[in-house]
Copies of this chain bind each other. A is one copy, B any other.
Amino acid sequence: MNPKDDKRSAQYSSPVCVHNPHLDDLKDDILYHFSLGTGTHDLPAMFGDVKFVCVGGSPWRMKSFVEYIAAELALEDPKSEYPNICAGTDRYAMYKVGPVLSVSHGMGIPSIAIMLHELIKLLHHAHCTDVTIIRIGTSGGIGLEPGTVVVTKQSVDATFLPKFEQVILGKTVVRNTDLDESLAEELLQCSKELNQFKTVIGNTMCTLDFYEGQARLDGAFCSYTEKNKQDYLMKAKEAEVCNIEMESSVFASMCKLSGLRAAVVCVTLLDRLKGDQLTSSHEVLRNYQQRPQILVGYYIKKQLKAKAGNH
């Protein structure tokens, strides 16, 4: 890359935006749930080269993802160990290899929201540009063969509306849950090229609860019938909902606010029209859970190859 190219790409580079004038008044910014901070860590040196962030609920899965992507990109000795950058806390786990950051977010909207506030500040403090962020997760499918991967078109709430309600000072503010359409299409194209498993684009319902909130019949409490459940899930299907999970709405709204190019890629572990419990063997479930990793790994590799070719 010559200096001219560098200048040109810098002109068009997109920063990670915070929207908080108070941050300028902070001497140090402590990212408490990461056990990191601007006063204790050189964030630009540690994270300035990050171009892809992958997030998922389980810390084990995010560790396995960083090992997988390192091998795929052949960036380091495959025997390398990837230390947990957030080893000072047990709230989240974070791993990095080259331009790829892998972060766990726990389960549910509040848990991923805490992580995203601190991640967005981290990327901002590190002066990262042109960052793509992808949630790789698990979900319940509606009318899909288990193991199908769903790339989210729109994240909708429990009434099938594409919105996220954020409570601020006791008042509800409605936020948009749009995701990057071109990124979703690029991921679908990657799946076609890979040709290893079925991938679809569809709406994703994001709920605050796994049992009653998703019309399951197997929670500690259930006041509705099998027919009520089927009726509700069929209404969801009519609203083009392909799968149900618990983080996509706040993920979409926060990434949009901060200017991050974002996608949600979740595998379906079961067909909720046929059951509620995860009865598949651990081996089958493990295989399913690798699919979003394989798809996103392929996408990142393709992007990096294209970029290297351009220079």
Q: Which residues of B contact A20 (CB under 8 A)?
A: 217-222
A98 to chain B minimum Cβ distance, whole angstroms, is 25
Of A72-80, A129-137, A163-171, A184-192, the one with at least 4 CB within 8 A of chain B: A163-171
B208 touches A110 (CB 8 A): yes
Given contacts A22-B217, A221-B19, contact A113 B210 (CB under 8 A): yes
A149 to chain B minimum Cβ distance, whole angstroms, is 20
Given contacts A20-B222, A224-B169, contact A210 B278 (CB under 8 A): no
- Residue from the list B107, B220, B246 in contact with A117, Cβ < 8 A: B220
A19 to B8, CA, bound (A): 63
Q: Is A211 an interface residue (CB 8 A)?
A: yes
A60 to B88, CA, bound (A): 11
A208 to chain B minimum Cβ distance, whole angstroms, is 5
A257 touches B110 (CB 8 A): no
B30 touches A277 (CB 8 A): yes
Q: Mark A194-236, 1 if CB is under 8 A from B, else 0.
A: 0000000000000111111101011111111010110010010
How often does this chain occur in the complex, in copies?
2
Q: Which residues of B contact A226 (CB under 8 A)?
A: 22
Q: Is A254 an interface residue (CB 8 A)?
A: yes
Interface residues on A, range: 35 or more
A170 touches B254 (CB 8 A): no
A66 to chain B minimum Cβ distance, whole angstroms, is 15
Q: Is A266 an interface residue (CB 8 A)?
A: no
Given contacts A18-B220, A111-B110, A221-B19, contact A215 B257 (CB under 8 A): no
Given contacts A208-B167, A278-B32, contact A257 B117 (CB under 8 A): no
Q: Given A29-B277, A32-B277, A221-B258, 9 other A-B contacts at CB below 8 A?
A: A20-B222, A106-B107, A114-B209, A124-B220, A159-B170, A166-B212, A169-B215, A169-B224, A169-B229
